[in-house]
Amino acid sequence: MVKRIWLLTGEPGSGKTTTLMKIVNTVRAKGYSIGGVVAVEKRVKGVRMGFEVVDLLSGSRDVLASVEQKMGPKVGKYKVNLKALSDIGARALTEATQHCDLIVCDEIGPMEMASPEFRRAIKEAVASGKPMIGVIHKHIRDPLADELRTATNVEIVEIDIYHSDETASKISEAVLNLLGERLE
Protein backbone atom coordinates (compact mmCIF):
# COMPACT_ATOMS: atom_id res chain seq x y z
CA MET A 1 0.00 0.00 0.00
CA VAL A 2 1.19 3.51 -0.83
CA LYS A 3 2.15 5.53 2.24
CA ARG A 4 0.34 8.85 2.43
CA ILE A 5 0.78 9.63 6.12
CA TRP A 6 4.22 10.27 7.60
CA LEU A 7 4.54 10.46 11.37
CA LEU A 8 7.81 11.91 12.60
CA THR A 9 9.04 10.71 15.97
CA GLY A 10 12.15 11.03 18.08
CA GLU A 11 13.50 12.24 21.36
CA PRO A 12 12.88 15.82 22.55
CA GLY A 13 15.16 18.21 20.69
CA SER A 14 15.76 15.79 17.80
CA GLY A 15 14.38 18.19 15.19
CA LYS A 16 10.88 16.80 14.60
CA THR A 17 9.13 20.16 14.24
CA THR A 18 12.07 21.64 12.32
CA THR A 19 11.93 18.75 9.85
CA LEU A 20 8.16 19.09 9.57
CA MET A 21 8.45 22.82 8.81
CA LYS A 22 11.09 22.16 6.12
CA ILE A 23 8.59 19.83 4.42
CA VAL A 24 5.80 22.41 4.80
CA ASN A 25 7.96 25.13 3.23
CA THR A 26 9.01 22.92 0.30
CA VAL A 27 5.46 21.83 -0.52
CA ARG A 28 4.06 25.34 -0.01
CA ALA A 29 6.72 26.76 -2.39
CA LYS A 30 5.24 24.53 -5.12
CA GLY A 31 1.89 26.29 -4.67
CA TYR A 32 0.02 23.69 -2.66
CA SER A 33 -2.27 24.68 0.20
CA ILE A 34 -1.26 23.44 3.62
CA GLY A 35 -3.31 23.54 6.77
CA GLY A 36 -3.35 22.04 10.19
CA VAL A 37 -1.69 22.73 13.47
CA VAL A 38 1.76 23.07 14.99
CA ALA A 39 2.85 23.34 18.60
CA VAL A 40 5.40 26.06 19.30
CA GLU A 41 7.56 25.87 22.38
CA LYS A 42 7.47 28.91 24.70
CA ARG A 43 10.60 29.61 26.73
CA VAL A 44 11.46 32.27 29.27
CA LYS A 45 15.18 32.79 29.93
CA GLY A 46 15.93 29.41 28.36
CA VAL A 47 13.37 27.52 30.47
CA ARG A 48 10.43 25.84 28.73
CA MET A 49 7.24 27.31 30.17
CA GLY A 50 4.77 25.70 27.81
CA PHE A 51 3.50 25.56 24.26
CA GLU A 52 1.27 27.51 21.91
CA VAL A 53 -1.02 25.89 19.38
CA VAL A 54 -0.87 27.60 15.96
CA ASP A 55 -3.29 27.21 13.02
CA LEU A 56 -1.11 27.06 9.88
CA LEU A 57 -3.87 28.41 7.62
CA SER A 58 -5.22 31.34 9.64
CA GLY A 59 -2.27 32.07 11.93
CA SER A 60 -4.55 31.96 14.99
CA ARG A 61 -2.74 30.93 18.13
CA ASP A 62 -3.35 30.39 21.83
CA VAL A 63 -1.75 28.71 24.82
CA LEU A 64 -1.80 24.93 24.38
CA ALA A 65 -0.26 24.11 27.74
CA SER A 66 1.61 26.04 30.37
CA VAL A 67 3.12 25.75 33.81
CA GLU A 68 1.06 28.89 34.59
CA GLN A 69 -2.27 27.54 33.28
CA LYS A 70 -4.80 27.27 36.11
CA MET A 71 -7.40 24.93 34.56
CA GLY A 72 -7.28 21.76 32.50
CA PRO A 73 -5.84 18.27 32.74
CA LYS A 74 -2.28 18.01 33.96
CA VAL A 75 0.32 16.41 31.67
CA GLY A 76 3.77 16.41 33.22
CA LYS A 77 4.38 19.87 34.67
CA TYR A 78 1.84 21.53 32.33
CA LYS A 79 -1.90 22.15 32.47
CA VAL A 80 -3.58 21.69 29.08
CA ASN A 81 -5.89 24.33 27.59
CA LEU A 82 -8.70 22.14 26.22
CA LYS A 83 -10.58 25.16 24.83
CA ALA A 84 -7.59 26.13 22.65
CA LEU A 85 -7.19 22.54 21.48
CA SER A 86 -10.82 22.52 20.40
CA ASP A 87 -11.17 26.09 19.08
CA ILE A 88 -7.82 26.27 17.28
CA GLY A 89 -6.31 22.77 17.05
CA ALA A 90 -9.33 20.68 16.10
CA ARG A 91 -10.75 23.45 13.91
CA ALA A 92 -7.43 23.82 12.06
CA LEU A 93 -7.33 20.09 11.33
CA THR A 94 -10.96 20.10 10.16
CA GLU A 95 -10.36 23.09 7.87
CA ALA A 96 -7.24 21.45 6.44
CA THR A 97 -9.12 18.20 5.85
CA GLN A 98 -11.85 20.03 3.96
CA HIS A 99 -9.86 22.66 2.04
CA CYS A 100 -6.11 21.92 1.82
CA ASP A 101 -3.84 19.69 -0.24
CA LEU A 102 -1.66 18.65 2.74
CA ILE A 103 -2.69 18.18 6.36
CA VAL A 104 -0.18 18.88 9.15
CA CYS A 105 -0.50 17.80 12.79
CA ASP A 106 2.21 18.64 15.34
CA GLU A 107 1.77 16.82 17.55
CA ILE A 108 -0.07 13.68 18.44
CA GLY A 109 0.91 13.48 22.08
CA PRO A 110 -0.49 13.20 25.60
CA MET A 111 -1.54 16.88 25.76
CA GLU A 112 -3.44 16.72 22.50
CA MET A 113 -5.04 13.34 23.25
CA ALA A 114 -6.73 14.96 26.27
CA SER A 115 -9.15 16.69 23.85
CA PRO A 116 -12.03 14.63 22.41
CA GLU A 117 -12.48 17.21 19.63
CA PHE A 118 -8.81 16.99 18.66
CA ARG A 119 -8.95 13.20 18.60
CA ARG A 120 -12.02 13.33 16.35
CA ALA A 121 -10.29 15.80 14.01
CA ILE A 122 -7.23 13.52 13.73
CA LYS A 123 -9.46 10.57 12.84
CA GLU A 124 -11.21 12.66 10.15
CA ALA A 125 -7.88 13.82 8.72
CA VAL A 126 -6.56 10.25 8.55
CA ALA A 127 -9.79 9.04 6.88
CA SER A 128 -9.76 11.88 4.31
CA GLY A 129 -7.39 10.16 1.89
CA LYS A 130 -5.21 13.29 1.71
CA PRO A 131 -1.47 13.35 2.39
CA MET A 132 -0.67 14.09 6.02
CA ILE A 133 2.52 14.86 7.92
CA GLY A 134 2.46 14.62 11.69
CA VAL A 135 4.64 14.44 14.73
CA ILE A 136 3.86 11.61 17.13
CA HIS A 137 5.17 11.52 20.67
CA LYS A 138 7.71 8.71 20.81
CA HIS A 139 6.51 7.18 24.08
CA ILE A 140 2.75 7.85 23.99
CA ARG A 141 0.58 4.90 24.91
CA ASP A 142 -2.87 5.61 23.57
CA PRO A 143 -5.30 3.52 21.47
CA LEU A 144 -5.49 6.14 18.69
CA ALA A 145 -1.71 6.56 18.57
CA ASP A 146 -1.27 2.78 18.52
CA GLU A 147 -3.79 2.49 15.67
CA LEU A 148 -1.91 5.14 13.68
CA ARG A 149 1.47 3.48 14.25
CA THR A 150 0.22 0.18 12.82
CA ALA A 151 -1.88 1.48 9.89
CA THR A 152 -0.72 0.24 6.49
CA ASN A 153 -0.76 3.72 4.92
CA VAL A 154 1.42 5.25 7.67
CA GLU A 155 5.20 5.47 7.72
CA ILE A 156 6.86 6.15 11.07
CA VAL A 157 10.04 8.17 10.54
CA GLU A 158 12.65 8.43 13.31
CA ILE A 159 14.18 11.92 13.29
CA ASP A 160 17.63 12.92 14.44
CA ILE A 161 19.35 16.28 14.08
CA TYR A 162 22.09 14.88 11.84
CA HIS A 163 19.77 13.73 9.02
CA SER A 164 16.83 16.17 9.16
CA ASP A 165 17.61 17.83 5.78
CA GLU A 166 17.84 14.47 4.03
CA THR A 167 14.66 13.20 5.72
CA ALA A 168 12.74 16.39 4.90
CA SER A 169 13.82 16.12 1.27
CA LYS A 170 12.72 12.49 0.94
CA ILE A 171 9.32 13.11 2.52
CA SER A 172 8.80 16.32 0.51
CA GLU A 173 9.45 14.38 -2.68
CA ALA A 174 7.02 11.62 -1.67
CA VAL A 175 4.30 14.16 -0.80
CA LEU A 176 4.80 16.05 -4.05
CA ASN A 177 4.65 12.77 -5.99
CA LEU A 178 1.31 12.02 -4.35
CA LEU A 179 0.12 15.50 -5.29
CA GLY A 180 1.30 15.02 -8.88
CA GLU A 181 4.39 17.24 -8.77
CA ARG A 182 8.08 16.49 -9.08
CA LEU A 183 10.67 18.03 -6.78
CA GLU A 184 13.35 19.69 -8.96
Q: What is the pLDDT of residues 103-123, one digit of tens each?
A: 999 999 999 999 999 999 999
Q: What is the pLDDT of residues 14-71, one digit of tens each?
A: 999 999 999 999 999 999 999 999 999 999 998 989 999 999 999 999 999 999 999 9
> Domains, the chain, ranges and CATH?
5-178 (3.40.50.300)
Q: What is the SS3 string spanning the chain?
A: CCCCEEEEECCCCCCHHHHHHHHHHHHHHCCCCEEEEEEEEEEECCEEEEEEEEECCCCCEEEEEECCCCCCCEECCEEECHHHHHHHHHHHHHHHHHHCCEEEEEEECCCHHHCHHHHHHHHHHHHCCCCEEEEECCCCCCHHHHHHHHCCCEEEEECCCCCHHHHHHHHHHHHHHHCCCCCC
Give residue 163's pLDDT.
87
164 pLDDT band, cuts 50/70/90, is: confident
